Amino acid sequence: MTDPQVNSVDVSNHDDGDGPWWKDREVLLPVLSGIAFLTGLLCEWSGAGIPALALFWSGLLLGASTFTPGAIRALLKGKLGISLLMTISAVGAVILGYVEEAAALAFLYSIAEALEDKAMDRARGGLRALLKLVPDTASVSIDGTWTPIAARELTAGQVMLVRAGERIATDGIVRSGHSSLDTSAITGESIPVEVEPGDAVSAGAINNAGTLEVEATAAGTDNSLTTIVELVEQAQAEKGDRARLADRIARPLVPGVLILATLVALIGSIFGDPELWITRALVVLVAASPCALAISVPITVVAAIGSASKFGVVIKSGAIFERFGGIRHVALDKTGTLTRNEPTVTAVLTANAVESEVVAWAAALEQHSTHPLAAAITAAAPEAPKATEVMELAGQGIQGVVGEAVITVGSPRWLASGALAERVEELETQGMTVVIVHHEHEPVGAIGVRDELRPEVPEVIRTLSGRGTGITMLTGDNLRTAQALANQAGISDVRAALRPEDKAAAVSELSRTAPVAMIGDGINDAPALAAADIGIAMGATGSDAAIESADVAFTGHDLRLLPAAFDHARRGRRIMNQNIVLSLLIIVVLLPLALSGMLGLAAVVLVHEVAEVVVIANGMRAARTRRRAAAQGAYSLVREDLRKSTTTGGQA
């Protein structure tokens, strides 16, 4: 039986930002500004002065319309930013009769801002689609009769009937019945959880087999899934206040420049020629204009983000890219991030039977099961015999007849392990989920299934550790399984049995000592991804919630992208810092020269334009890592294809 709501998160909700650029006002206006400015230059060079002036005014107004209104609105709220200083500089240039220079400033700043905005990843699903994981209705006991009611009307204390294939409408405790639950939407773990009376269950979990009676412990509108939504929205709101580096520099720079220009005009007018000193104040204002600063960061970001996307790393904004280069600690989810999220048979124990027979008997039955472990077992014995009289033992296992023998397969919680008990416990200590195989009601074997570590993980962990990056594993799985896998990976800091809110709390704790990146791919990771300084969603097939909550998305699953992405971001950050220092030095040098009258407006504008060319050229160096990283990404893809072809017998 299948659950009609399993695929409730709709990928089509994404706004991928791939519409035509001419329909996007944020891009169209700067482009038109540039066209008007360049056409004006051509007219000026050809001697058509009046058309050139008209085109310069058009370019100025088009470019300024993208940032001046916002600068004025921010000013009315008491916020001073780089857009305000660019606006004032353009106005000052116009007052002095330099419309062409003002148009150049407006065009360069508007196109730089537009390019940075368009470099953002628009793949954001609707976070509230998470709530669709809760069914619309639930069957509750009313006067001894099972009656369907709206899930949102559930209250704590009511008893729900959850049939096989249905989702649990809210958090609760099992009162009767045995089953296994698919909790991957909540915990991210691909291996089901066996439940019995007294066990706690979460909203959104799928009942795989049997029928459960669950007493609600939370209202239908206040459960673990609604908590995830609230945590993510809260974390995103807090992180949204972090300004870009250029804006942080502009905060003291803007009022300082305005005060300086005002003082020059006032003091100069008192002790000298008012016209001379007001003009000089305007030149000082233009000299202090952070033209190079305004475009140096965006151009570097555009170059770096564009090249990163070529090797499978999608970064959502410039502010995120700036923070990315400062990460000093990495928290990793286990399932689907460190592991393949593809459970496979990794061990077989036997007692009075042949190993191949044990696997074949189990596979014969599991061919008839929808249990997630069944796929792993049937894959291990593709030539399994046919089974008859197969029936599921709700919450315990599956039984049937193979040949003339009764075969039973199930959890060690329900089937006796016999002489294999000690070895079964050892497999569980190694992080495996074990199923017992009975032949004619006698234990003859045990099969260990585990979600294997990705082969590149130990290498990646060594690389990150060698660079001084702290590493922590966060997982909803039990400590024994988590510790076994962490030992293979080389991770010493392990935090297990975590719910989504626990992961978010752990990330917040880690971020108090160093900037933290959280890496995950599931709904359960969404709060932690949002709470981290940088959230990284693994794989294009990760959940919409993870992609929306994250700041960075890897289009593949090869973790070797991680150190490559860090290298790329740190190099880009160094280039940004170089551009910022150069931009500020230009302002520091130009200010006294403009103040003393040694440089007029034309010379000041010329220096600014030369500086802009220099920082643009330097910023474009951020794209030079593309070939090396892209080659690494291509190698990873080829390697993954080879692995898949090997496991499928070489068939494409």
Task: Determine whether 24 is an active site residue.
Answer: no
- Residue identified by tokens 């752990």 is 506
8 A C-beta contact, residue 546 and residue 537: yes
> What amino acid occupies position 235?
A
Phi and psi at 123, nearest 5°, equal -75, 80
**What is the CA angle 595-597-598, rounded to 5?**
110
Which of the residues 121, 171, 182, 333 is marked catalytic? 333
Q: Are 478 and 191 in contact (CB under 8 A)?
A: no
- Letter string b/e over residues 185-201, b meaning 16 or more CB atoms within 10 A of that residue's CB: bbbbbbbbbbbeeebeb
The residues near 15 (Cβ < 8 Å, ≥ 6 apart) are 122, 123, 124
Q: In this structure, what token pair is assigned to residue 385?
A: 């015999």
Non-local (6+) Cβ contacts of 626 within 8 A are 307, 310, 311
Q: HSE, CB side, 13 Å, CA atoms: give it for residue 53.
A: 5
Note whether 323 and 136 are within 8 A (CB).
Answer: no
Pairwise CA distance, residues 457 & 113, whole Å: 38
Report the SS3 class of residue 335: helix
Q: Is the dihedral of CA 427, 429, 430, 434 positive or negative?
A: positive
CB 367 within 8 A of CB 379: no
For residues 111 and 329, give the distance between their C-alpha atoms in angstroms, rounded to a whole number.
Answer: 35
Q: At residue 139, what are phi and psi to the nearest 5 degrees?
A: -90, 120
* One-character DSSP codes across 24-41: -HHHHHHHHHHHHHHHHH
In DSSP notation, 535-556 reads EEEESTTS-HHHHHH-SEEESS
H or E stretch including 246?
helix 245-271
Would you please indicate which residues are annotated as catalytic (active-site) residues?
A: 333
